[in-house]
Amino acid sequence: MGKITFIIGGARSGKSSKAIALAKEKAASVAFIATCEALDKEMSRRIAAHKRSRPAGWKTFECPRDISLALKKAGNKFEVIIIDCLTLWVSNLLLERTKEKLIEGKTKRIIAALKKIKGGSIIVSNEVGLGIVPGNELGRAFRDIAGRVNQIVAQGADEVFFMAAGLVVKLK
């Protein structure tokens, strides 16, 4: 059924731009599931810039915590669904004190749901394991859980791309 493409890389590596370009190539009807929340003015500006980078006809679902709900709303109405990004989603859940096993279970359910839809999907996430070990417990928990979420998604994906400095490497 639905083909899952996973795009992972560092901050500002070109992941979102790649996801948008792939979706434009593949589909006219696209659902964009955004996981970011504007908690300050600077983040509001970033979100506005992201919105401007997407075609006006795309449907945006702002779901910082419940990706599954957005997938239910989108259903089979779209040729492509983009989820951008998993690491913000993990961060949002962690700040609500959601347990690691629950986050992993939610991730597995998202992958299972995406496999059942007719259209394709593109998932964006940050690679968090290439830097230093975070200096506090919450930072280390985030890195560990995000790493496991990324592994779950990579296992379930049909293709995986790694982005660095705007360049793409196909991993799977």
For each of the domains in the chain, give its residue range(s) and CATH number, in order of start.
Answer: 4-170 (3.40.50.300)
From CA 124, how far away is CA 13, in angstroms rounded?
11
165 touches 18 (CB < 8 A): no
Predicted local distance difference test score (pLDDT) of residue 46: 84
Angle, alpha carbons 79-56-127 (nearest 5°):
65
Query: Model confidence over 87-120: pLDDT tens digits?
Result: 999 999 999 999 999 999 999 999 999 999 989 9
Residue 140 amino acid letter:
R
From CA 128, how far away is CA 133, in angstroms rounded?
10
Q: What is the mean pLDDT of the chain?
A: 92
7 touches 157 (CB < 8 A): no
Give the active site residues: 50
Query: Model confidence over 28-56: pLDDT tens digits?
Result: 899 999 998 878 898 888 888 888 888 88
| Long-range CB contact pairs, 68-74, < 8 A, 24+ | 68/106, 68/109, 68/110, 68/113, 70/31, 70/33, 71/33, 71/110, 71/113, 71/114, 71/117, 74/31, 74/33, 74/117
Q: What is the arithmetic mean of pLDDT over 53-66?
A: 88
Residue 162: alpha-carbon gap to chain centroid: 13
Cα 7 to Cα 89, 132, 169: the distances in Å are: 15, 22, 10
Query: Model confidence over 151-165: pLDDT tens digits?
Result: 999 999 999 999 999
Angle, alpha carbons 42-44-48 (nearest 5°):
120
Report the interhelical angle of 67-74 vs 100-116 (nearest 10°): 10
161 touches 8 (CB < 8 A): yes
Q: What pTM, to 2 d.p., does this model score?
A: 0.92
Look-up of token digits 């982005």? 163
Predicted local distance difference test score (pLDDT) of residue 22: 93
